[in-house]
């Protein structure tokens, strides 16, 4: 099987469909030495983009949303050709972007409006205090290959709304859809504040070196390298990294619902989702019933690219090898594969949906990120054991709890060490753009989305203090007499010794 991306010359490359090996398209790689000039051009164009104001930028973003809807079929066809996805998976990305755009367009004016702040004491009541949000000129976005459309743009939308310019570095495995998205931005009347840097590690490094803010989505190991590189210039970063998301199924759960969620959450996009279900802990009284329901659902799945299937190929043989290793090592340690368990014969990087039982935390399938279509299920005796095992991980992206008692599920959710928990659902938090999506531990720092915070994260805060009156100005300046300075010191002392207001019981 050929690699997803083959370098032809130092300047061009061929992208192959991992499901068929067919050529998906050609890409021109960016010379890393050209990126400083590219960033300078973005920085120059950004000034006019910022000056349009939130209302002016919203009009352009609205036109871009319309373009996405009108070109959805073209985007999805290229997406399938580039990634080997099923049509079922591919149709999710454009609607998600339009939903994000619709929300951001309604939110951005509020997000960018200056905020008045109260005086901290009577002494400073003569001042008007305001906080302003100023966009960082160039935001570098290093996007992954698993969702080339959604992950490329879901952060770019917030940055563009804030008034930043965006330098997008898509994965070298899936560069083609990014070219189409840039074309759409320009055809929507967007200015030259959104452009691409195509390539691998050297290009990523150049983007980091020339950006004023870096948004990275990818593995935890690469996230560390991104942060180290950005630290050289004290460039702020937001990192959305790997996960090993747990699901907890309580004895009072709706078992059919939990099984449906586990299978979809574990197999969607061939398991290549940062917030996919990667391990399941089931209370002993319902374990057998849950496993039977999962098997029923898995046996109905159809694997293949394009139309009429549930999920498609893995991105390449390298990713497939990780899945194979996790399953093989688990079986050698005593686990059983009730479905799948072996690579699909024939062309393409396909792996069948694989349900593993008799698993424990000595196995990599329960502790390392698989990013493949596997579902390891572990029986637990108590809720406390389930919580302890769910937290026994270096990752902390998201999780899910299934129970008919929502209060009980919420109490368990608040004991899980992760950025988001879904009750009686999976992955849904990714669509809740009013709330932050971020990871704990090695799953990242910072967050995307979060209402106005999802726009303000790309800004610098600037405080402006203006006098209400000239009375009292310069009371402690050196030019005053010692008598005046003494009066000011006494006033400051009275302020410092004033009793704080009582806190209401």
Which residues form the catalytic set?
240, 274
Contact (Cβ atoms closer than 8 angstroms) between residue 241 and residue 443? yes
CA dihedral 346, 350, 352, 358 (to 10 degrees): 120
Q: Which helix H or strand E contains 271, and what residues bound it? A: none
CA-based angle 67:70:71, to the nearest 5?
Answer: 85
| Residue 13, beta-bridge partner list | 7, 27
CA distances from 8 to 13, 14, 173 (A): 5, 7, 14
From the list 246, 253, 313, 255, the residue with the least C-alpha distance to 275 is 246
Rounded Cα distance, 310 and 264, in Å: 9
Rounded Cα distance, 141 and 125, in Å: 42
Cα 41 from chain centroid (whole Å): 27
At 149 the three-state DSSP class reads coil
Reading the block at residue 434, the tokens are 């009013």
The DSSP secondary-structure symbol of 431 reads G
């Amino acid at each position: 099987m050929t690699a997803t991306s083959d370098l032809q010359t130092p300047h061009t490359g061929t992208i192959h469909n991992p499901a068929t090996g067919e050529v998906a398209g050609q890409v021109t790689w960016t010379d890393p030495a050209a990126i400083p000039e590219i960033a300078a051009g973005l920085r120059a164009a950004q000034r006019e983009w910022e000056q349009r104001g939130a209302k002016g930028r919203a009009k352009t973003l609205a036109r871009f949303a319309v373009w996405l809807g009108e070109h959805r079929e073209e985007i999805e066809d290229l997406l399938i050709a580039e990634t080997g996805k099923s049509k079922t998976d591919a149709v999710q990305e454009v609607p998600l972007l339009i939903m994000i755009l619709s929300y951001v367009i309604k939110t951005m004016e509020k997000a960018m409006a200056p905020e008045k702040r109260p005086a901290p004491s009577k002494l400073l009541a003569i001042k008007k205090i305001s906080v302003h949000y100023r966009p960082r000129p160039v935001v570098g976005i290093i996007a992954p290959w698993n969702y080339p459309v959604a992950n490329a743009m879901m952060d770019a939308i917030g940055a563009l709304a804030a008034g930043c310019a965006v330098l997008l570095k898509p994965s070298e495995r899936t560069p083609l859809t990014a070219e189409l998205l840039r074309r759409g931005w320009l055809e929507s009347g967007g200015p030259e504040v959104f452009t691409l840097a195509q390539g691998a590690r050297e290009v990523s490094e150049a983007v980091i070196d020339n950006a004023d803010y870096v948004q990275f989505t990818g593995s935890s190991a690469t996230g560390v390298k991104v942060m180290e590189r950005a630290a050289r210039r004290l460039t702020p970063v937001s990192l959305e990294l790997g996960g090993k998301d747990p699901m907890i199924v309580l004895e009072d759960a709706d078992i059919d619902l939990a099984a449906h969620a586990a299978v979809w959450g574990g197999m969607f996009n061939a398991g290549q989702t940062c917030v996919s279900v990667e391990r399941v802990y089931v209370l002993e009284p319902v374990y057998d019933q849950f496993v039977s329901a999962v098997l029923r659902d898995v046996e109905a799945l159809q694997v293949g690219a394009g139309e009429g299937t549930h999920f498609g190929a893995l991105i390449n043989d390298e990713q497939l090898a990780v899945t194979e290793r996790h399953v093989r090592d688990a079986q050698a340690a005593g686990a059983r594969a009730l479905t799948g368990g072996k690579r699909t014969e024939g062309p393409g990087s396909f792996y069948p949906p694989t349900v593993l039982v008799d698993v424990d935390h000595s196995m990599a399938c329960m502790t390392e990120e698989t990013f493949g279509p596997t579902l390891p299920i572990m029986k637990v005796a108590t809720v406390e054991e389930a919580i302890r095992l769910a937290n026994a991980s270096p990752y902390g992206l998201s999780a899910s709890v299934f129970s008919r008692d929502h209060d009980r599920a919420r109490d368990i959710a608040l004991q899980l060490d992760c950025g988001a928990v879904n009750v009686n659902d999976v992955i849904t938090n990714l669509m809740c753009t009013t709330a932050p999506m971020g990871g704990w531990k090695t799953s990242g720092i910072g967050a995307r989305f979060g209402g106005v915070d999802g726009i303000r994260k790309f800004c610098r805060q600037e405080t402006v203090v203006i006098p209400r009156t000239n009375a009292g100005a310069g009371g402690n300046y050196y030019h005053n007499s010692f008598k005046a300075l003494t009066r000011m010191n006494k006033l400051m002392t009275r302020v410092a010794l004033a009793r704080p207001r009582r806190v209401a019981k």
